[in-house]
Amino acid sequence: MARQYFSTCSFEVDGEQETNEALSILCIDTELAQSISHLFGCVPLALDTDESGLLIRVAMGQGEAARSATLSDLDDWPPIEDWMRLTGDLETTGFDKHLGKVRVPNFTANQQHELKAERSGRSQLGGDVPIGFSPAKTGKPNDTQYIGTLATQDFPVLPFDLHLSIPIFDEYSTLILDYHDPMAPIIVDRDQVEEKYIQSLSGVVENATQAGWEPVSFGVESTSKWIKEPDLGVSGVPAFIQDSVLPKSPKTGRLMPFLCQFSSINGPKLKQSSIGAIEDPEYFNDHMAFFGDGAVFLFWEKETRLLAFVMQNT
């Protein structure tokens, strides 16, 4: 029997290609899984397979909160209306339909890395807009802002230092940018702006197209313990604060690999802006924040040079 761990699961484990792509992104090793005690209401997933890769056991949670189901349990499993009471999040996997029927590939476990502020760091949050770089245009009240640069030394999957262009002062759930020109990213699908745009953040009324934050240099450091609430951010495995959201590439149709995430806990201080009117100056002028006090998750598809970002808040 083989066992694999995953940081969370909010979808059916049905053996489909897209599901396996998601599991590949979320796969972690035993030590990291056992360090997850509580992940904003989500719990780690364990999948057991036999010698042929057939799924024979599903388990979620740790300690007294752990729930599991095996192939032999299904004959005596309680009615569907009792699932939530007895299994918690386990029912989201659809185990009753897939145990003994689907095969699970062997995935490579992802390591989590902490993004730690350090003066000698090669990557950076905040700072001045690089000469020649043009942040993407959304056509909405505040467009996007330059928020920092990811260095290729820290993120080897990148073909160039990636200048990040993200809307800080407007609310989006997900947007995808095309970086074929590294100095002038563009929105992939203009209809996507209308579909994913929610509203301007409460109080930010107009003219927030230019903003500047104090520079915070950072490096990437491996960790064997799950970081639930990173000060600056993490890479390797996303630490979602809501259900897992894995964007799909509009060009290849595949789920996009995770790159890194940034939190609002200890972001760079805002030093200048062109905000015309705000309701709560102290809140919005304090530091770089995502959805108020949420997080932004970045996904990068290297063959198409597409960058997706997902914003979440509790």
Res 1: pLDDT: 78
Is residue 243 within 8 Å of residue 7, measured between CB atoms?
no
Least confident window among 15-19, 157-161, 288-292:
288-292
Instruction: Please indicate, yes or no, whether residues 272 and 170 belong to a single structural domain of this protein.
Output: yes
The answer as to whether 106 is a domain residue is no
Instruction: Please indicate, yes or no, whether residues 223 and 277 belong to a single structural domain of this protein.
Output: yes
Average pLDDT on 280-306 reads 80
User: Over the stretch 59-94, which tens digit does the pLDDT of each residue have?
Assistant: 876 655 567 777 666 555 544 444 443 445 677 787
The answer as to whether 105 is a domain residue is no
The answer as to whether 87 is a domain residue is yes
What residue has token string 């995808």?
176
The answer as to whether 103 is a domain residue is no
Give residue 58's region: left, alpha or beta (phi > 0; psi -120 to 50).
Answer: beta
Q: How confident is the model at residue 200 (pLDDT cuts 50, 70, 90)?
A: low
For the cut 60, the answer to whether the pLDDT of residue 152 exceeds it is yes
Residue 283 backbone dihedrals phi, psi, to 5 degrees: -65, -45
At a CB cut-off of 8 Å and minimum separation 6, what does 177 contact? Answer: 136, 165, 185, 186, 187, 188, 306, 307, 308, 309
For residue 64, the number of C-alpha atoms closer than 13 Å in the C-beta half-sphere is 0
Instruction: Please indicate, yes or no, whether residues 183 and 48 belong to a single structural domain of this protein.
Output: no
Range of the domain at 288: 113-312
Instruction: Please indicate, yes or no, whether residues 184 and 50 belong to a single structural domain of this protein.
Output: no
The answer as to whether 64 is a domain residue is yes
Percent of the chain with pLDDT over 90: 46
Last residue of a domain, one of 44, 69, 98: 98
Instruction: Please indicate, yes or no, whether residues 16 and 133 belong to a single structural domain of this protein.
Output: no
Instruction: Please indicate, yes or no, whether residues 198 and 300 belong to a single structural domain of this protein.
Output: yes
- Which residues in the chain belong to E strands, given as ranges? 2-6, 27-28, 45-49, 55-60, 67-70, 113-117, 123-127, 145-150, 162-166, 170-172, 174-178, 186-187, 197-200, 211-222, 233-235, 258-263, 270-273, 295-301, 306-312
Instruction: Please indicate, yes or no, whether residues 118 and 256 belong to a single structural domain of this protein.
Output: yes
Going by C-alpha positions, the residue among 59, 67, 109 that lies closest to residue 87 is 67
Instruction: Please indicate, yes or no, whether residues 237 and 279 belong to a single structural domain of this protein.
Output: yes
Average pLDDT on 259-283 reads 72
d(CA 219, CA 149): 12
Instruction: Please indicate, yes or no, whether residues 257 and 180 belong to a single structural domain of this protein.
Output: yes
Instruction: Please indicate, yes or no, whether residues 10 and 38 belong to a single structural domain of this protein.
Output: yes
Instruction: Please indicate, yes or no, whether residues 54 and 178 belong to a single structural domain of this protein.
Output: no
Q: Which residues are registered as beta bridge partners of 29?
A: none
The answer as to whether 17 is a domain residue is yes
The answer as to whether 303 is a domain residue is yes
d(CA 297, CA 314): 14
Instruction: Please indicate, yes or no, whether residues 136 and 35 belong to a single structural domain of this protein.
Output: no
The answer as to whether 63 is a domain residue is yes
- What DSSP letter does each residue of 203-265 carry, written as one string? T--B--S-EEEEEEEEEEEE-SS--SS-SSEEESS---SSS---PBPTTT-SBPPEEEEEESS
For the chain, what is the domain count?
A: 2
Least confident window among 21-25, 101-105, 280-284:
280-284
Res 40: pLDDT: 42
Last residue of a domain, one of 37, 71, 98: 98
Q: Regarding predicted confidence, which is higher, 65 or 263?
A: 263
Last residue of a domain, one of 70, 98, 126: 98
Looking at mean pLDDT, say which of 4-8, 32-36, 57-61, 201-205 comes out highest: 4-8
Reported as type and span, the H/E element at residue 84 is: helix 83-87
